[in-house]
Amino acid sequence: MAEVIWGLATSHVPSIGAAMDNHKTEEPYWKPLFDGYAPARSWMAEHRPDVAVIIYNDHANSIDLDLIPTFGVGTAESYPVADEGWGHRPVPPVIGDPELSEHLVRELMDDSFDIATFNQLDVDHGLTVPLSVYCPDPGQAWPCAVVPVVVNVIQYPQPTAARCYALGQALGRAIRSFPQDRKVAVFGTGGMSHQLAGARAGLINAEFDRMFLDAIETDPETLAALTREDYVREAGTEGIELIMWLVMRGALSNNIKRIHETYHVPASNTAAALALFEDLGATSAVTA
C-alpha cells in the first residue's frame, strides 16, 4: 500500500531557484536562507520518497488565463519544465507516476472533488523551486517521480481555505488507498506573506507568518476557517498561496512530528519559509 511519509511546506520564490542555478547560494544575501534549509535537506535525503505529490499553482506560464481550473491533477508520463521568459531552468525533466495520478483523480472525483485532469502540463517555478529546495543537486534525474496538484490562487474567487484543507484530507485518503507500494511525500508550496504589485507591494507580515507556521502543525482548523479576504489582507495578494499548505496538511495524519522549520526575510521581496513534518501514521490505533 502507499503511505505518506512526510509533508513539506515551502515557499516557491523563483529567485531561490535562480540563486541555485547561478551558484549564488554562498553569497551574503542568500546564505542565511540556504543555511536555514540545511537540516531539513539532510533529513529528507535520508528519507527519500518514491513520489512527491506537489501542490502548487501555475503563474500563467502554462495555464492560459482564458481557462483556470480551481483544482487539477497531472496525469502525464512527464512534465516539461516551463520557459518563463528567460529560458528553461537547468534542472532535470519531471517524471510522472500516471498510475498513481489516475487513482488519485478517480478517488477524488468519488469523494466529490471535481478535478481537472492535466494530460499535458509544463511546470513552472511553483513546482520546480520546491523540488530544488528538497534536492539541490539532482544531477541528471530527480530522485523521485512527481504528481502535480494544481490550485488556482491567482484569479478571484480562489477556493476557500476550508475547501483546500478538505481536499488535502481527501488526497491523503486517496494516497493511502493506492494498492501498490509507494512512499509518498506531500509538498505544499507558496507563501509566506507577499504582494508583488500595487500599493502594498513588498508587504511582509511576520506576525501573521509566525502564527501560520505554528498553526499549520497544531491548529490547521483555525487556518481553514480564515476567508480569502483574511489571507489577502494579512498576507498580501500572493500570500493567499498559503492555502496550498493546507492541502498538504490535510493529507497528513493526525500524528505528525515537526522535523525542522525556518523563516527568512527577504527572498526577492517576500517572506520565505520551510516547515517539514514527519508523518508517523494515524493515532486511532488501540491505546490500552
Q: Annotated active-site positions, please? A: 125, 194
The Cα–Cα gap between 177 and 157 comes to 31
Contact with ligand DHB (CB under 6 A): which of 25, 61, 169, 268?
Answer: 268
Decide whether 100 or 153 has the Cβ nearer to ligand DHB: 153
| CA-closest candidate to residue 36, choices 277, 281, 273 | 273
Mask: binding to ligand DHB, 43-82, rule CB under 6 A, as x and -?
Answer: ----------------x-----------------------
Q: How far is the CB of 180 from ligand DHB (least distance, A)?
A: 33
Decide whether 190 or 220 has the Cβ nearer to ligand DHB: 190
Binding range to ligand DHB, per CB under 6 A, among 11-19, 82-90, 100-108, 221-229: 11-19
The Cα–Cα gap between 58 and 107 comes to 23
For 265, the enclosing helix (H) or strand (E) is strand 256-267
Position 12 contacts ligand DHB (CB under 6 A): yes
Contact with ligand DHB (CB under 6 A): which of 270, 273, 276, 279?
Answer: 270
Position 182 contacts ligand DHB (CB under 6 A): no
Position 132 contacts ligand DHB (CB under 6 A): no
The Cα–Cα gap between 19 and 27 comes to 9
Residue pair 168/187 in contact (Cβ under 8 Å)? The answer is no
The Cα–Cα gap between 76 and 117 comes to 9
Binding range to ligand DHB, per CB under 6 A, among 8-16, 37-45, 91-99, 250-258: 8-16
Q: How far is the CB of 82 from ligand DHB (least distance, A)?
A: 12
Residue pair 249/7 in contact (Cβ under 8 Å)? The answer is yes
Residues touching ligand DHB, count (CB under 6 A): 12
Residue pair 149/246 in contact (Cβ under 8 Å)? The answer is no
Binding range to ligand DHB, per CB under 6 A, among 12-20, 108-116, 139-147, 169-177: 12-20
Residue pair 81/123 in contact (Cβ under 8 Å)? The answer is yes
For 262, the enclosing helix (H) or strand (E) is strand 256-267
Q: Which three cell numbers stand for residue 157?
A: 474567487
Decide whether 41 or 59 has the Cβ nearer to ligand DHB: 59
The Cα–Cα gap between 25 and 32 comes to 9
Position 194 contacts ligand DHB (CB under 6 A): yes
Q: How far is the CB of 182 from ligand DHB (least distance, A)?
A: 28
Contact with ligand DHB (CB under 6 A): which of 209, 238, 261, 279?
Answer: 238
Torsion angles phi and psi, residue 187, rounded to 5: -110, 130
The Cα–Cα gap between 248 and 171 comes to 9
Binding site for ligand DHB (CB under 6 A): 12-15, 59, 190, 194, 196, 238, 241, 268, 270
